[in-house]
Amino acid sequence: MNILILNLILSTAEHGVIKRRESISDTMICTFARGFLELGHSVTIVAAEEFRPSGSVPEDVEVVFLPSRMPKVFKPSLLPWPKGLGKFLADNKDRFDMVISSEAFSIATLVASRYCPDKLVIWQEMAYHQRKMKKMPSKFWHNVVMRLLMNKCLVVPRSQPAADFIRHYSSHVSDQIVDHGADGQALYPADSSTDSFVIVSQLVARKNVDKMIATFAKLVAIPDFKHYHLHVIGDGDMAASLQAQVKAANLEQNVTLHGFLTHHQLASYLRQAKALLVNTSMDLNMVSIPESIVSGTPVVMNTMPTSASFVNDNHLGIAKDNWDEHTLIQLISDYESYHEACVKARFGLTNVGCAKKMISIFEQRKRR
């Protein structure tokens, strides 16, 4: 099967600033695409030109970069308008057997619904209306554009909250969930864990890394846990202040800020930790959560991410707001059962497992 993935935004742009990486190989969509490749399919990704890496593009996945129209109005970091997408689809629609497009509220999805509606799968992450301009653009799009022009297209949600949201605007929403998927080859469980926790995150305000470090400080202040270590992996504009926080709290022996690491570099820290820590104030589907579970590592998280109920229902960690050092102790005491549940659930959250499920949903729809 020849598969086209329309995913114009390759990474989150803080404050509208797109940070070009040397490589996009570790981005969520390239990882997802490799799941199809491992199943024997071919994949092409269409992305916005503004996200082109400064180095080389992945050799195993074809990536087409399209420039954005009117970038001051249709900001590439939020709602890019890809120049030439209509012509690309008109010229190549017969080449592809399935077209996956991220989000219903997307110009790329609208264009694809015109040229290849029977092949289109809308892969829905948003679980609420975007707040820009008092939600009016999002409400207009979902109530008018989607109902009139995209209502016959198959929608596959990435979480249960996303499914509940998009069912208000589409009558063709799959009952099955397809998450982002993690690289099951680079990320796999370890035979044993170390007395450590890990944070994999951008070091920006909405991630609340400072609050998690403060909670960890309360844990290591308890004599039985004074030897525990916290690995913080990621970069961002709060790096310096977080390092200062660690120093001021005399935590240099307990906390290491590693900076940005590739998946292959961070894998050992992730699989050997007792848990991944998450306390975000804005994110929906966080790629780090399935990556942790695929690594056999439970998650301690708040309930903002849309995977919170999935984590609790499947004993993959603890999802609760205002978790504290006592929550970490609870996780430590029951680590083995959480770890076993993660190992049991891991295939369905690998990129191969997610790709396989996406194809199955699409083929079931075609047979109807």
* pLDDT digit string, tens, across residues 205-215: 999 999 999 99
Quick one: pLDDT at residue 13?
Answer: 83
Question: Residue 166: what residue type?
Answer: I
Q: Are strands 42-48 and 255-259 parallel, antiparallel or unpaired?
A: unpaired
Question: Residue 284: what residue type?
Answer: L
DSSP 264: H
HSE, side-chain direction, 13 A CA sphere, residue 15: 5
Q: Give CA–CA dist 335/193, Å, rounded.
A: 9
Q: What is the pLDDT of residues 336-351, one digit of tens each?
A: 999 999 999 999 999 9
Q: Give CA–CA dist 203/235, Å, rounded.
A: 5
Is the model's pLDDT at 132 over the cut of 90? no
Quick one: pLDDT at residue 96?
Answer: 97
Of the chain, the percentage scoring pLDDT greater than 90 comes to: 91
How many other C-beta atoms are found inside a 10 Å radius of the C-beta of residue 136?
11
- The β-bridge partners of 3 are 43, 98
Mean pLDDT of the chain: 96
Tokens of 94: 């017969």
Q: Are 297 and 275 in contact (CB under 8 A)?
A: yes
Tokens of 264: 């292959």
Residue 125: band (very low, low, confident or very high) from pLDDT cuts 50, 70, 90: very high
Measure the CA angle with vertex 167, ends 166 and 172; round to 5°: 105
Q: Compute the CA torsion angle 133, 137, 143, 145 (nearest 10 deg).
A: 180
**Element at 283 (helix H, strand E):** none
Residue with token string 């504290």: 324
Is the model's pLDDT at 20 over the cut of 90? no
Q: What is the pLDDT of residues 251-273, one digit of tens each?
A: 999 999 999 999 999 999 999 99
Predicted model pTM: 0.92
